[in-house]
């Protein structure tokens, strides 16, 4: 049990992958006194419930830059953090079922190519080589980027935590933030279920609860949380679906984990907000039908379990990243289902902003005030 600290230079709220990446990067950049507060156990929220994908195939320049930078970091993360992160780069195969969707994918591909992301259009024959179990006779086109893939959210988060602890970061689990003290226009401290911590900087990495933590500091963000469901099957022979299969009109993402289990999810209808993360029989039936349609070989295999997690959504499906009008209060929020894949770069950017005042990727357009100004950056590539 870590000894309680009642002062800190920076308090990070949230012990998921975002919080741990921020804490590690702050310490790596020389910040001596970082405390992470997590109301449950590490990786117990959205991170531990996510689909685990990582990709650079996006429809906006901002997300392409973040996606590529994160891929670059993921590829050397095991070496940097000293622990396996479960990286598996079998690519993302995008499947279009409408000509208009295929045109959007090709337009996005041109943008990706201009930024150094080597996405390409593949033929149906090559799509079947990439994904031997695929049945997509009704598809009109495919794009593929071989550096995309997935990593293990638990291993990644724990690797960040252990590396952060070695650099002196304090982690308080089962410690809920109950209030944030602001004096004048700046942060003064954090109230918790275990006592007060005096600090002049707080980073909000609270995932589905980000809007509530922001409100404690007097900052209004237009975020809302959606329940998304996932199923996972028993292990079957690897090679049925090595890449992450993804379709926006088909409304699915499906991938096979290295040990053989197949995992899949889709965007929910009606976008339920449900902090109890319940599962539904309707989803189980819908996703099972999708599996059998897209991967006919899965017919008859057993679903081992299903679970839910929360996407913390913003109106344009892009994150809020940076300092707010309350001095010392930073946001790394609103990732709209992509917090895991962006965590390596977002943690670095927050640390750069805090320690240097500038960032290696210009994130000014991700300032939370863009919503008030009407400067939304709509991302088309979200499931």
**Residues 234 and 340 placed together within one structural domain of the fold:** no
**Residues 206 and 276 placed together within one structural domain of the fold:** no
**Residues 142 and 230 placed together within one structural domain of the fold:** yes
The answer to whether position 217 is within a domain reads yes
Number of residues that this document lists for the chain? 383
The answer to whether position 203 is within a domain reads yes
Q: Give the count of domains, the chain.
A: 2
Confidence of residue 3 (pLDDT cuts 50, 70, 90): confident
**Residues 39 and 107 placed together within one structural domain of the fold:** no
CATH of the domain at 119: 3.30.9.10
Among 278, 313, 348, residue at a domain's last position: 313
Helix (H) or strand (E) holding 171: strand 170-172
Confidence of residue 377 (pLDDT cuts 50, 70, 90): confident
**Residues 218 and 309 placed together within one structural domain of the fold:** no
Dihedral Cα 68, 168, 181, 276, nearest 10 deg: 60
Predicted confidence (pLDDT) at residue 382 exceeds the cutoff of 80: no
Q: For the segment 358-370, what is each residue's pLDDT rounded down to a tens digit?
A: 999 999 999 999 9
Cβ atoms within 10 Å of 302's Cβ, excluding its own: 7
Token pair, residue 143, equals 């794009």
Cα–Cα nearest to 319, from 229, 179, 210: 210
CATH of the domain at 180: 3.50.50.60
* Strand ranges of the sheet holding 170-172, from the earlier edge strand across to the other edge: 170-172, 34-37, 10-13, 202-204, 329-333, 320-323
Q: For the segment 121-152, what is each residue's pLDDT rounded down to a tens digit?
A: 999 999 999 999 999 999 999 999 999 999 99
The answer to whether position 286 is within a domain reads yes
**Residues 207 and 325 placed together within one structural domain of the fold:** yes
Q: For the segment 325-339, what is each residue's pLDDT rounded down to a tens digit?
A: 999 999 999 999 999
Strand stretches in 4-43, DSSP E: 10-13, 34-37
The answer to whether position 64 is within a domain reads no
Query: pTM (2 decimals)?
Result: 0.95
Compute the Cα dihedral for 177, 49, 75, 346 and give only its sign: negative
Q: Compute CA 258 distance to the chain's CA centroid, rounded to the nearest angstrom.
A: 20
- Better-predicted residue by pLDDT, 276 or 13: 13
The answer to whether position 260 is within a domain reads yes
Compute the Cα dihedral for 111, 112, 116, 119 and give only its sign: negative
Q: Which residue range forms the structural domain that includes residue 120?
A: 92-146+224-313
Dihedral Cα 254, 256, 260, 261, nearest 10 deg: -30
**Residues 353 and 230 placed together within one structural domain of the fold:** no
Among 263, 290, 313, residue at a domain's last position: 313
The answer to whether position 192 is within a domain reads yes
Predicted confidence (pLDDT) at residue 301 exceeds the cutoff of 70: yes
**Residues 164 and 207 placed together within one structural domain of the fold:** yes
Predicted confidence (pLDDT) at residue 7 exceeds the cutoff of 70: yes
Confidence of residue 383 (pLDDT cuts 50, 70, 90): low
**Residues 215 and 121 placed together within one structural domain of the fold:** no
The answer to whether position 74 is within a domain reads no
Pairing of strands 329-333, 202-204: parallel
Among 294, 313, 332, residue at a domain's last position: 313
Q: What was the pLDDT predicted at 188?
A: 98
**Residues 289 and 255 placed together within one structural domain of the fold:** yes
Q: For the segment 219-263, what is each residue's pLDDT rounded down to a tens digit?
A: 999 999 999 999 999 999 888 999 999 999 999 999 998 889 999
The answer to whether position 271 is within a domain reads yes
Q: Compute CA 161 distance to the chain's CA centroid, rounded to the nearest angstrom.
A: 17
**Residues 229 and 298 placed together within one structural domain of the fold:** yes
Confidence of residue 1 (pLDDT cuts 50, 70, 90): low
Token pair, residue 322, equals 């940076």
Cβ atoms within 10 Å of 179's Cβ, excluding its own: 13
**Residues 131 and 239 placed together within one structural domain of the fold:** yes
């Amino acid at each position: 049990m870590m000894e309680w600290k009642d002062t800190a230079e920076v308090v990070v709220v949230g012990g998921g992958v975002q919080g741990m990446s921020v804490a590690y990067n702050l310490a790596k950049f020389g910040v001596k006194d970082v405390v992470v507060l997590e109301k449950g156990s590490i990786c117990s929220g959205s991170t531990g419930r996510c689909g685990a994908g990582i990709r650079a195939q996006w429809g906006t320049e901002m997300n392409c830059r973040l996606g590529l930078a994160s891929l670059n970091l993921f590829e050397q993360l095991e070496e940097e953090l000293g622990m396996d992160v479960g990286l598996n780069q079998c690519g993302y195969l995008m499947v279009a079922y409408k000509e208009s969707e295929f045109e959007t994918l090709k337009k996005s591909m041109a943008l990706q190519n201009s930024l150094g992301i080597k996405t390409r259009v593949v033929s149906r024959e090559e799509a079947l080589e990439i994904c031997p179990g695929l049945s997509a006779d009704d598809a009109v086109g495919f794009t593929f980027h071989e550096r995309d893939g997935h990593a293990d959210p638990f291993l990644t988060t724990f690797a960040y935590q252990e590396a952060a602890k070695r650099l002196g970061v304090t982690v308080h689990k089962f410690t809920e933030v109950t209030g944030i003290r602001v004096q004048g226009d700046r942060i003064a401290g954090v109230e918790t279920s275990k006592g007060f911590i005096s600090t002049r900087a707080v980073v909000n990495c609270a995932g589905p609860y980000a809007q509530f933590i922001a409100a404690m500091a007097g900052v209004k963000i237009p975020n809302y949380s959606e329940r998304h469901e996932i199923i996972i099957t028993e292990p079957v022979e690897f090679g049925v679906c090595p890449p992450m299969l993804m379709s926006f009109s088909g409304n699915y993402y499906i991938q096979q984990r290295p040990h053989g289990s197949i995992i899949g999810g889709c965007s929910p209808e009606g976008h339920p907000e449900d902090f109890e993360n319940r599962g539904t029989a309707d989803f189980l039936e819908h996703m099972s039908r999708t599996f059998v349609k897209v991967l006919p070989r899965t017919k008859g295999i057993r679903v081992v379990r299903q679970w839910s997690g929360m996407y913390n959504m913003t109106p344009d499906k892009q994150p809020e990243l940076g300092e707010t009008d309350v001095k010392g209060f930073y946001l790394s929020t609103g990732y709209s289902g992509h917090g895991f894949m962006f965590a390596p770069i977002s943690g670095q950017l927050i640390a750069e902003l805090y320690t240097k005042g500038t960032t290696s990727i210009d994130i000014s357009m991700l300032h939370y005030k863009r919503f008030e100004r009407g400067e939304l950056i709509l991302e088309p590539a979200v499931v």
